[in-house]
Structure 1
């Protein structure tokens, strides 16, 4: 079993008087559980490009994030097995959690395994695999008996 936490610790650095320091060291508090065991920790967002070093603005936590125009969104997700979520994709039907965001997403699988499903195919992802999600329709299906942890950076895209 992995020792990765469902709710991560976040360390934020800053500068004061020309010297760097640790401005915050805390457990993420912006956490939601939209389905039992599906834990989403919204870590950080930016609201312009280039990004500024200002402190974050509160993030509205939702199952499908909405990236701020010219911004980024940093998310840590624990996805339990489909069986625990009560999810079943009927044969020939789209996966019930198919969704699409208007963003370019960099996703890293930190632990466990999960299937990435698109409209026409799917592939098994394991710890260390990286997905570049280009705003396409997709779903995640955890067919194992362990949680999958993924880290995602979403960037506003056209």
Structure 2
């Protein structure tokens, strides 16, 4: 997954400038689940301060789930579910690769309910291409198509691609604290 990322900010001279223009540094493709890919495009820390001079790139210093007050921007491409239902699919190899390539998020997935996970974040989930099913723990399933948006508030969910085409999504995660 090659995604061009341009980072702009305010230079030392007080004027707008491009600091970087290139391939997103944390883009991964999975060998154990062909067509599955993720890219962490940007991350901010809690209390991020705008200023002049170089912009801090935190993408290499964070996992794929933000802490309270932090944000993450990422793309994920989901292959059709059939890829992971094939007789030769190695779930253990995929789990190990997922943990290595998508740290922080992989640990949120439930062993007994494949795909189900919960994060302490408010998520803006945008379908860029394809269609995908949002499955909730009460059994509800909501079909999302291109340009549909789901907003989630720390709820347990899974993404299911019942089609024969990949689905690509843009996610903005904003770390939050859970009540109680």
Q: TM-score, normalised by structure 2?
A: 0.73
Alignment correspondent of 2:38 = 40
Query: Which residue, out of 45, 48, 52, partners 2:49?
Result: 52
Count residues in correspondence: 144
Contact 1:44 1:59 in 2 (8 A): no
**Match of residue 93 from structure 2:** none
Which residue of structure 2 lines up, in the alignment, with residue 134 of structure 1?
153
1:63-95, CA deviations, whole angstroms, 9 ceiling, x for partnerless residues? xx32133111111111110012337xxxxxx75
Output the CA distance in 2 between the equivalents of 1:60 and 1:11. Answer: 19
RMSD between aligned residues: 2.0
CA distance in 2, matches of 1:140, 1:75: 15
Bigger helix share: 2
The corresponding residue for 1:76 is 75
**What stretches of structure 1 of length at least 5 have no aligned partner?**
1-5, 88-93
Q: Which runs of 5+ in 2 are unaligned?
A: 87-111
The answer to whether the Cα contact below 8 Å between 1:109 and 1:126 also exists between their aligned partners in 2 is yes
CA distance 1:117–1:31, shift in 2 (3 Å): same
Moved over 6 A (4+): none
Larger strand percent: 1
- Give the alignment's TM-score, normalised by structure 1: 0.82
